[in-house]
A = this chain, B = another copy of it.
């Protein structure tokens, strides 16, 4: 370790500017080998060490992308707990709070500029989801679910919580044996297979990721479910056929605001006025783009809508919103598990990926964890039904009955009777 020397007045002034810009978050900020600065009267939770003046300038000129890239490259290090440091920043940084007009407009402009055409959607999906399944298998649960889990109790394991999530969404739509389901954005196929295996449903599952579809088809064959679950490599816009249930867990984030009308049309075409369904997606309290770094390096084309924006999918089609649940704390917990597993398998991952990749993913997982914990991001499950749907449960109590091996029929309400 180099001996600590004192910073120049100019360096201290620059560091103080950065502290101001992030709302005097309780962290120490230092140029490598120099004395740190921290906001007066706070108890710093960690130290962010910046390698040199050029890196510091980059951070000042472009804070969001600059910080992400600098951390990935190792020119910014965090001494202490990365999650605690990020949490301190998220809770203090004014730009993570709504500044009304400008943030809203910016979110909308960005959305319009980068329309998710079918071609661009394919590229975006390839960027993230076509990474080898071996990589994800190291830190996801056994079933390879890459979406928010549902922890019946905070101490449930990740494996339990992912199974519980699959049962929870099936119960929310009251899936019955013999019913048909279309799933838009099916990942590695766990939910589609679960719906067929445990609920006796017939499932058509659509996904743009070639790698994931190949993997899912293989699983279906191995489990002898290939006749009940059809995995199709295609865009959700091309879904055809008629189904009882529309299910989508973790895809709306990749659809983009300007396609919600089209998304609604696809859903209505799929389930009509008598069907029902569920959308599970990352959202926000107020309209804003995702972090510029996330959009650039991790999820190109992604947008997390407010609940109000997401309802544009349903309103033109006379769908009833039956139930909305915000599970953001469950996503924070899910990410705690993912990050913990990721850290533990870093040596193996580092054999196949360069250090920059590993650091970028660590930052992405830690930053997402903090965003859900702090409330910068939300996780919504929206259950909906066509206006002629007869499957409206009398109450939600059946969701919380003791878990049964088979879903129990709730008291049906014949809305049309």
Contact = CB atoms under 8 A, between A and B. Distances in A.
Interface of A: 97-98, 100, 151-154, 285-287, 306-308, 311-312, 314-316, 318-326, 328-329, 373-375, 378, 380, 387, 392, 394-397, 399-400, 411, 413, 415
Given A307-B311, A326-B321, A329-B392, A286 B316 contact: yes
A214 to B, nearest CB: 36
Nearest to A91: B416
15 contacts: A97-B318, A152-B395, A154-B413, A285-B321, A286-B316, A306-B315, A307-B321, A308-B311, A321-B380, A325-B396, A329-B394, A375-B415, A396-B396, A396-B399, A396-B400
Given A308-B308, A400-B397, A320 B378 contact: yes
A323 B397 CA distance: 14
Contacts of A415: 329, 373-375
- Can you tell how many copies of this chain the complex includes? 2
A315 B285 contact: yes
A286 B315 contact: yes
Contacts of A287: 315
Contacts of A319: 285
Given A307-B321, A311-B308, A320-B285, A153 B329 contact: no
A375 B317 CA distance: 13
Contacts of A318: 97-98, 285-286
A281 to B, nearest CB: 13
A308 to B, nearest CB: 4
A390 to B, nearest CB: 11
Contact of A375 (B151, B153, B320): B320
Contacts of A387: 97, 285, 375
Nearest to A389: B375
Given A308-B308, A319-B285, A324-B324, A413 B98 contact: no
Give the dominant DSSP class at A's interface.
mixed
A314 B308 CA distance: 10
A322 B326 contact: yes
Contacts of A326: 320-323
A31 B415 CA distance: 33
A322 B373 CA distance: 14
A394 B311 CA distance: 25
A320 B379 CA distance: 10
A287 B311 CA distance: 12
A266 B346 CA distance: 50
Contacts of A154: 394, 411, 413
A312 B311 CA distance: 12
A321 B324 contact: yes
Contacts of A374: 415
Contacts of A100: 316
A413 B154 CA distance: 9
Given A97-B387, A321-B380, A396-B400, 4 more contacts: A308-B312, A311-B311, A323-B326, A329-B415
A392 B379 CA distance: 14
A413 B397 CA distance: 22
A415 B377 CA distance: 13
The 8 closest A-B pairs by CB, nearest first: A324-B324, A308-B311, A397-B400, A400-B400, A375-B387, A285-B318, A322-B326, A307-B321
A127 to B, nearest CB: 30
Contacts of A314: 285
A373 B392 CA distance: 12
A238 B176 CA distance: 51
A162 B395 CA distance: 15
Nearest to A151: B394
B325 A323 contact: yes
Nearest to A318: B285
Contacts of A328: 320
A311 B309 CA distance: 9
Contacts of A378: 320-321
